[in-house]
Amino acid sequence: MTGMISFQGVPGAYSDLACRNAYPAMTTLPCASFEAAIDAVRDGRAALGMLPCENSLAGRVSDIHQLLPDSGLYIIGEQFQRVEHCLLAVRGARIDEIRRAHSHSVALGQVRRILAELDLTPVVEADTAGAAELVAGWGRKEDAAIASALAAEIYGLNILRANVEDAAHNTTRFYVVAPRAAAVDPATRNLMTTFVFRVRNVPAALYKALGGFATNGVNMTRLESYMINGAFTATQFLCDVEGHPEHTSVRRALEELSFFSTEMRVLGAYPMAAFRVGQGAAD
């Protein structure tokens, strides 16, 4: 596929890297916010959008849960991106000259070991690639950034040390979104379906709503709850299951869910990423 793919952040962000790895023929479009990345797809400036939805260490990306269901866009794929943090500095700087490490707050929390080892003062910035851009602009040997190798390439920084993250399994999952739903043949192996629903405010409503997935043998890989418009009684759920809505088991489970929910919408049916299949997802 060619054209533009939007993401939140500046060039060199991990979302940018995910776009380049998943769609190397496309041009990445940096956006200031998740809303702007969604709008770029909605108004036709980008053919696709790359939106992070969860991280193996930090958990869910709550903004996406709130924005995606009402965006009018559809999930057509998923991408998993390993987060490989690097310690970046201006050319000529030695590791013993570094005094401060700049990055996003989440990234700084993921590199505590090297911060302690080098006795670096963590400084919170808006994002990882933005921190690399700042360090490059300052040109000071005592300031470093925690960011990707792509950010080092873009902003002309040296990688003083690669893979400084504390946990080797640090991975972010992304939804790939488009203006139209993917035309996926239900006979295709290794499919996922993502949907949102709300349950009636009655005892055991969630238990009853989800019972159909158990009785029909549908594997649920993700279930997230969050409030709607700040109301404690209006809870919405986002769910990923293995399979396609036209599969008999998934269709029956969704029918049972709709009986106990006040609203249910499928956000997309799409192929599993190779990363998921490699981890042994059901066929």
Check residue 32 and report its DSSP letter: S
Whether 227 has a pLDDT exceeding 90, the answer reads no
- Specify the pLDDT at position 235: 79
Q: Which of 28, 34, 128, 172 is catalytic?
A: 172
Mean of the pLDDT values across residues 7-29?
A: 97
Q: Which residue has the higher pLDDT, 226 or 266?
A: 266
The amino acid occupying position 203 is: P
Least-confidence region, from 22-26, 99-103, 168-172: 168-172
Supply the pLDDT for residue 201: 73
Residue 45 DSSP label: S
Domains defined for the chain, CATH in brackets: 4-83+170-178 (3.40.190.10), 86-159 (3.40.190.10), 191-278 (3.30.70.260)
Between these two residues, 128 and 277, which has the higher pLDDT value? 128
172 is catalytic: yes
Residue burial 170-208, b: 16+ Cβ < 10 Å; e: rest = bbbbbbbbbbeeeebeeeeeebbbbbbbbbeeeeebbeb
> In sequence order, what are the residues at sequence separation of 6 or more whose Cβ sits closer than 8 angstroms to the Cβ of residue 194?
75, 175, 238, 239, 240, 266, 267, 268, 269, 270
pLDDT over 70 (residue 145)? yes
CB-based contacts of 89, cutoff 8 Å, min separation 6: 95, 97, 98, 135, 141, 143, 144, 145, 157, 158, 160
Confidence at 233, pLDDT banded by 50, 70, 90: low
Mean pLDDT of 69-96: 97
Given pLDDT bands bounded at 50, 70 and 90, which one contains residue 259?
Answer: confident
Using DSSP, state whether 9 is helix, strand or coil. Answer: coil
pLDDT at 283: 44
Do residues 102 and 123 lie in contact, with contact meaning Cβ atoms separated by under 8 Å? yes
Q: What percent of the chain has pLDDT over 70?
A: 96
Position 242 scores a pLDDT of 97
Phi, psi of 38, rounded to the nearest 5 degrees: -65, -45
Percent of the chain with pLDDT over 90: 81
Out of 55-59, 103-107, 135-139, pick the least confident: 55-59
- Phi (first) and psi of residue 191, to 5 degrees: -110, 155
Answer whether residue 7 shows pLDDT above 60. yes
pLDDT score of 77: 97
How high is the pLDDT of residue 22? 97
Q: What was the pLDDT predicted at 281?
A: 57
Local confidence band at 231 (pLDDT 50, 70, 90 cut-offs) = low
Q: Which DSSP category does 177 fall into?
A: E
Q: Of these residues, 7, 174, 213, 237, which one is catalytic?
A: 174
Query: Residue 203: what pLDDT?
Result: 82
3 state SS of 178: strand
Output the furthest CA–CA distance in the chain (Å, rounded).
65
pLDDT of 60 over the 50 cut: yes
174 catalytic? Reply is: yes
pTM across the whole model: 0.91
Query: How far is the C-alpha of 109 from the C-alpha of 140, rounded, in Å?
Result: 23
pLDDT in the model for residue 263: 87
